[in-house]
Structure 1
Amino acid sequence: MTESQIAQNAQSKLDADGGFPEQQQEPPGRTGEMTPVPDHGEQTYRGSGRLDAMRALVTGGDSGIGRAVAIAYAREGADVAVCYLPEEQEDAEETARWVEDAGRRAVLCPGDIREEQTCQDVVAAAVEGLGGLDVLVNNAGYQWARSEGLENLETEQLDRVLKTNLYALFWITRAALPHLGRGSSIINCTSIQAYEPSTSLLDYAATKAAINNFTVNLAAELGPRGIRVNAVAPGPIWTPLQPATQPAEKVANFGSSTPLGRAGQPGEVAPAFVFLASPSDASYVSGTVLGVTGGKPVF
């Protein structure tokens, strides 16, 4: 499938007026309840062996960008462990099915990564199930769009955002490091929100800016060990997080402000994660944030 056909396929998922139907779910959201269902590259991604025999752990791998990355990695020859919230079991099993359909091993690692011990357990389960670890994708994230100001930001909500997006990033990466060797890589998922923050996502945007700093800083620390650290900064991508954390009327116009005039699909983000994980393509790439934003600037 050509780039033009992929773009046309993504555009066809929008309704006639270029937006999405108004919809809303309870967090964390379900893929099958979305209209339209996101495109994770199930019918479009074609692998070429760039990750042959590698072993990857993808957090938040049950749906959205995480599922698309798991599918792409499997089709590139990698075995994949998927971390997810226990209530997302059905979506996680669907991701595992696609990984296994590609002829690769899938390991399911449920758990709430807001707990330090869970983060350690997830890494241990991935390493045991895969027989080692070569790539860590810190993709899991949480947001909640607020209509009121900072004065009404509840500590419970702040804790959920910070622990999911930042604490877990540190805990999982720390637990994974003893298992990563020369040629391994860590890929973090940041966001356009690190560069163009929305006032309704004050806490979320702050964590994404912190992830950028973490990425560059850790790349400097781990460079002498031959471990590369990079990040992908998606723009507005059609995932369950959107109808589960945004007002229905905002979902209807989701992504329309990008230069390309639409939201992206998870399957359009996954190739960036493949590139950064590939030893043959990105062996000299570290400390970089790669934007997949529909034209919004990442600098």
Structure 2
Amino acid sequence: MKHFPFPPFPKQPQSFPGLTEKMDPRPDHGETSYKGSGKLQGKKAIITGGDSGIGLAVAIAYAREGADLLVVHLPSEGDDGATCRRHIEEAGRKAVMAPGDISDPRFREEVIERAASELGGLDILVNNAAYQRPFQSIDEVTLEEWTKTFDVNVHATFHLTQLAMRRMKPGSAIINTASINSKDPSPQLLPYATTKGAIANLTVGLAQLLAEKGVRVNAVLPGPIWTPFIPAGMPPEAVETFGAKTPFGRPGQPAELASAYVMLASDEASYTSGALLTIAGGQAVV
């Protein structure tokens, strides 16, 4: 069994959205460990927030499973984006990089059109990008911050799904990244946790609404996962002990989630829709 790092971790504050290269220890995205077996051969996928963290692990896995990818990332994350492109192309698959802000409706339309034209279709949409910022009191949460969190996390997820449906055929899959915060909200992450609850409900509702079109909708609910979100979106003292309270005693690595996203996107999961899959190192979430 592979050994993953345990806290305590060094204090390492970053500005949002954070960069992989500045993290200590460096996250494991499956760069050397993930082995594909053709589960997504020939499929075309969009992954938002695919340059780092969970999104990068999913991009590596999808490419090694045979999918061509369009990866959305913020323009400031160009270095991480270049690393993601390299992993996809080393797997022999097509990589279309789409720097931009998914809170912009026009950019969301561009993303779907580029996938259709440059990938030649769309079979999988992974709504993974998110915004997070901690607050110690409700007075600190400005209306601007509240709105921004919903624009990125919820409105973009809905709109990209709506646009994608115009291109998707029966057998396609939509996978949303929610969070255990959807069921066990952290008070310091009130706006973020609220949006993740909305995404969980959106997932279950869409699964029913899109069933007649043959499109499956599921969500992954990660627990504490060691990504750039952590030093960029949590207080330094929380970073030091991140993941220590789980039964495993450590945070998960992005690589440990990739297989779930592969399964939910694959044809083998043809009867799986409306599922909320918790991956939290044994942490009980009701």
In 2, Cα distance between equivalents of 1:118 and 1:169: 13
Q: How many aligned positions are there?
A: 286
- In structure 2, the residue matched to 1:29 is 18
Out of 231, 236, 239, the position equivalent to 2:224 is 236
8 Å Cα contact 1:137-1:188 kept in structure 2: yes
Out of 236, 258, 273, the position equivalent to 1:286 is 273
- In structure 1, the residue matched to 2:70 is 81
Q: Does 2:129 match 1:146?
A: no
Cα offset, 1:89, TM superposition: 1.2
Q: Which amino acid aligns with 1:110?
A: P
Alignment map for 1:208-227 (pairs within 5 Å): 208-227=196-215
8 Å Cα contact 1:109-1:126 kept in structure 2: no
Provide structure 2 residue ranges, at least 5 long, that are not aligned to the other structure.
none
- In structure 1, the residue matched to 2:117 is 128
Q: Does 2:38 match 1:49?
A: yes
Provide structure 1 residue ranges, at least 5 long, that are not aligned to the other structure.
none
Write the deviation string for residues 111-159 of structure 1: whole angstroms up to 9, x where unpaired. Answer: 1011111111111112221110000000001110112x21221112112
- SS of 2:278's equivalent in the other structure is strand
Q: CA RMSD in A?
A: 0.9
In 2, Cα distance between equivalents of 1:245 and 1:205: 13
- In structure 1, the residue matched to 2:50 is 61
- SS of 1:211's equivalent in the other structure is helix
Cα offset, 1:297, TM superposition: 2.7
In 1, Cα distance between equivalents of 2:256 and 2:192: 22
In 2, Cα distance between equivalents of 1:184 and 1:272: 16
8 Å Cα contact 1:192-1:296 kept in structure 2: no
Q: Does 2:178 match 1:190?
A: yes
Out of 151, 154, 164, the position equivalent to 1:163 is 151
8 Å Cα contact 1:259-1:296 kept in structure 2: yes
Out of 169, 172, 178, the position equivalent to 2:166 is 178
8 Å Cα contact 1:110-1:122 kept in structure 2: no
Q: Kindly report structure 1 stretches of 4+ aligned residues shifted beyond 3 Å.
A: none
In 1, Cα distance between equivalents of 2:234 and 2:201: 27
TM-score scaled by length of structure 2: 0.98
TM-score scaled by length of structure 1: 0.94
- In structure 2, the residue matched to 1:295 is 282
Q: Which amino acid aligns with 1:62?
A: D
Q: Does 2:254 match 1:266?
A: yes
> Among the aligned pairs, what percent are the same residue?
50
Write the deviation string for residues 276-296 of structure 1: whole angstroms up to 9, x where unpaired. Answer: 00102x111000011111112
8 Å Cα contact 1:212-1:231 kept in structure 2: yes
Cα offset, 1:19, TM superposition: 2.0
Out of 78, 99, 114, the position equivalent to 2:103 is 114
8 Å Cα contact 1:132-1:179 kept in structure 2: yes
